Amino acid sequence: MSMFRLLQAELWHRKLNITLSLLALMAAATLFVASPTLLGGYRRESERQLHAMQAATESALAEMQAETDAELVNLEQKAAADLANLDKRTKRIMRDLGFNLRIVHKNTDMSKLYAEFVAFDMPQEYLTRLAESPEITKIVHLVATLKQMIQWEGQPRLLVGFAPEATQSHIEQKAPMGFRIKPGTVYLGAITGEGHAVGEKIEILGREFEIARILPAHGTAEEDIAICMHLEDAQAVLEKPDRISEILALGCKCKTVERIEEIAQQLELVLPEAKVTEQRIQAIARDDQRKLIVNHHAQTMADYRANRERIMQQEQESQQQIVAQEVAHRTSVMGLLTGVTSVVTPLVVLVCAIWVGMLAWSNVRERRVEIGLLRALGKSSASIAGLFLGKAMLLGFVGGAVGCGLGYLMARWLATGMLGVDAGQFTPSLLASCCTLLGTPLVAAMASYLPTLSAVNQDPAVVLMDG
């Protein structure tokens, strides 16, 4: 009988031994394939999940950044509009404080000007010269006045003539300052107007005027005892045609502390016959109020930017913490799977190999008489060894082939059912399959080597005598 026929008979007649050996080899092959497949699939899924989390985090932060940038732009635009509106309102408020510059003839005695309102008269054309000079850029709202103390109703009164504000064509035009008094009418200060009413006709230095307005109390003699009228009316009643006492003006917002010196330099170029004095309280109040608004705007924007950066930093740290926790969790699971692959799998393969060897040893003991007869019939030791080792390698190949498929399916089932891994992350490993298909027959042959060696070394005569 040929060796092939003997092997075929062996497989057919010893089904239990063959089945147990095949199951052991299949188990070893299944675990050998499942472990690295499960590990590789979980690793790819972890990389995909972490990449998706990183992308989602970056997208969320970018969206948040875009939203805050848009909000910042809107806030800046609103703040700029509010600042412009506040600045405009502040200018109006500061404008209502009155003029802060007085331009008088250089021969004016300032002591008499402050004490008695007496100034050295100037030609009215000085006003025109200032208004039309492009060199004058730091002086605006030019208003010529003529002042003189008079007696009216037995009391000292300050008669003031106001000209309409002069137009400076080279400077942006703004709402005019000063009184715009119609000819033939007067404004009376709070003290001067006591006992009089609006619409009443009064006589001043021989000319009749109508009271158009009684001014509220200001707390200063210059306003409260004043009789205000149009400049031309004042020049007529005082008999000073084309003469003015001083030019009231508003100093622009200069960025240097030497603003009065800068204004004086410009005035010297155009009108050397005049000199300028500043009411510093009003000037400083104007500048301080404007600076306060600018600083408030800058501080508001700085606070918003700082708060935005803090929120962005907190959100980024929160997202990083979530990603770190996920990385730690997946690293832990990877460590567990790696432990299974590096410790449990070799142990199971070793147990299965021992089990296959024990089954092979049992098979040899049961077939001692058969082996003796084969030797007596002239079968060589190589033939006997080929019979046992061939059976082992055949079972190993079948067990390895079936184990490859079962291992792949088992890895997918465990990962998708227990670890939540996407099934698309699993692909059969060519290397693992080749190692299993080649390694399982080799392991089966090595496990059957000692039993086979024992069968080959048996003395046929002894075996047959015992049998």
pLDDT tens per residue, range 238-285: 999 999 999 998 876 554 456 778 888 888 888 999 998 876 545 455
Residue 415: is its pLDDT beyond 90?
A: no
What pLDDT is attached to residue 256?
Answer: 43
**Residue 124: enclosing H or E segment and its boundaries?**
none
Q: Could you give the CA distance from residue 274 to residue 436 in angstroms, rounded to a whole number?
A: 110
Selection from 165, 204, 166 nearest residue 185 by Cα:
204
pLDDT tens per residue, range 364-375: 776 666 666 666
What pLDDT is attached to residue 371?
Answer: 66
* Distances, alpha carbon 173 to alpha carbons 52, 92, 122, 451, in Å: 61, 14, 26, 116
Most confident of 76-90, 154-168, 387-401: 154-168
Q: Could you give the CA distance from residue 318 to residue 315 in angstroms, rounded to a whole number?
A: 5
Phi, psi of 188 (to 5 degrees): -110, 140
Residue ranges per domain, the chain? 3-67+312-466, 101-278
Dihedral through CA 325, CA 327, CA 333, CA 339, nearest 10?
-130
Tokens of 266: 């410009």
Tokens of 223: 């306003």
Selection from 462, 285, 280, 453 nearest residue 376 by Cα:
462
Q: % helix / strand / coil in the chain, to the nearest 5?
A: 65, 15, 20
**Confidence category of residue 12, pLDDT binned at 50, 70, 90:** low
Half-sphere exposure in the Cβ direction for 9 (13 Å, CA): 9
| pTM of the predicted model as reported, rounded to 2 decimal places | 0.47
Residue 344: is its pLDDT beyond 80?
A: no
Selection from 349, 337, 341 nearest residue 403 by Cα:
349
In percent, the amount of the chain with pLDDT more than 70 equals: 78
286-297 core/surface letters (b: 16 or more CB in 10 A; e: else): bbebbeebeeeb
CB of 122 closer than 8 Å to CB of 244: yes
Q: Could you give the CA distance from residue 30 to residue 399 in angstroms, rounded to a whole number?
A: 9
117-142 core/surface letters (b: 16 or more CB in 10 A; e: else): bbbbbbebebbeebbebeebebbbbb
CB of 391 closer than 8 Å to CB of 10: yes
Q: pLDDT averaged over the chain?
A: 79
